[in-house]
Amino acid sequence: MSARLGNAYAGLGRCIYCGTIPKLPERLTKEHIIPFGLSGPYYINAASCASCARRTQKIEEICLQDMLLPMRVYAKTRSRHKTVRKPVKIRIGTAEGERFVDATFDQIPIAGIMPRLLPPRILLGLPPALDSFIAQAGIFTKPEVSPLRLELGATCIDTVHHFDVADFSAMLAKIGWCYAVAEHRRDRIAPWVVSSILGRFFDPNYFVGGTLEPEEPPEPDILHRISTKYTTISDRLMLIVKIRLFANLGSPSYYVVAGPIER
C-alpha cells in the first residue's frame, strides 16, 4: 500500500497536515516519520507547507533537545548539530546537604524518562478532558557509577529533568500521522489526530496514549518499532499506529489514533 523508493515515500501533492496545495510543489518540504534526531531513516518527500513545517520542527526541538536528550545520548542517535552539548543541571546530595551543579553526560548516570500513559480516551469511550493523563514515569538509566559522584563524595545524584507530556504526545501524534500517510496512502483517512499536532485540540490524551496491551520486554536489536492496526469505534473503522521508541531499552509503547477510514 505504500509508495516508497529507498528511504523516501512519495508526497501527496499537498501538505499532509493542513491540506494546502502550494502553487509551486517545491515549497513543500520533506518530513521524517520518526525524527532525524532519533535516527529515523524514513521520510515523506514534499510533505509539509512552511507553516506546518515550523510547527512540527518546534515540537521536535522541544522533545529532542530537552526531554529525550538523555535517551538520545545513551542510544547515540543522530544529530544535525555538531557542537558540544550544553551542561545539564543536576542535584547532588552530600553529608553537608544538597546543592545544584552543572555537569556533562559523561560525568553522571544517564536517566531518561519515557512516560507510561493512560490509553487514548477515544479508545476508552471517554470524552475529551483537561486533567493530567500520565499514568507513571518509566525511568531508564545507564547503570555505571558516576565519576562525578566519586569526585564530589555525593551520596546521591539526581538530574533536574523537564518533561512536558503534552509536547511529547504531540510528537507521537506527528510520528503516527506521518506513518499513517506513508503506509496507508490509498486509505482515505480522516485526519482527526492532526488537530493535536497543530495545537488546535485541547486534550493531548484523546487521540494519543498508552496501549491496552501487557508491558513488553526490551527488544535488544530494535531501536524503534512502529506498526498499524485497525479497530472499530461506534461502527467506524479506525486506523491506530503503535509506536515504541527506544524499544531496545524496554520503553513503553504508545497508540496514536490517526482517524477513521472514510468509505
pLDDT of residue 51: 94
Tell me, letter by letter, the H, E, C secondary structure of 20-35: CCCCCHHHCEEEECCC
Q: How far apart are CA 6 and CA 9, in angstroms?
A: 8
Cell of 235: 461502527
Q: How far apart are CA 160 and CA 75, in angstroms?
A: 20
Please give the average pLDDT of every successive group of 10 residues along the chain, which has 263 residues.
80 93 84 96 95 95 87 82 64 77 70 84 90 59 58 65 84 97 87 94 91 88 96 94 94 95 79
* 195 Cβ contact list (under 8 Å, min separation 6): 201
Q: How far apart are CA 239 and CA 232, in angstroms?
A: 9
pLDDT of residue 99: 79
pLDDT of residue 206: 94
Q: How buried is residue 134: exposed, middle or buried, by Cβ count under 10 Å (0-12/13-18/19+)?
A: middle
pLDDT of residue 43: 96
Residue for grid cell 546543592: 99
Q: What is the pTM of this model?
A: 0.87
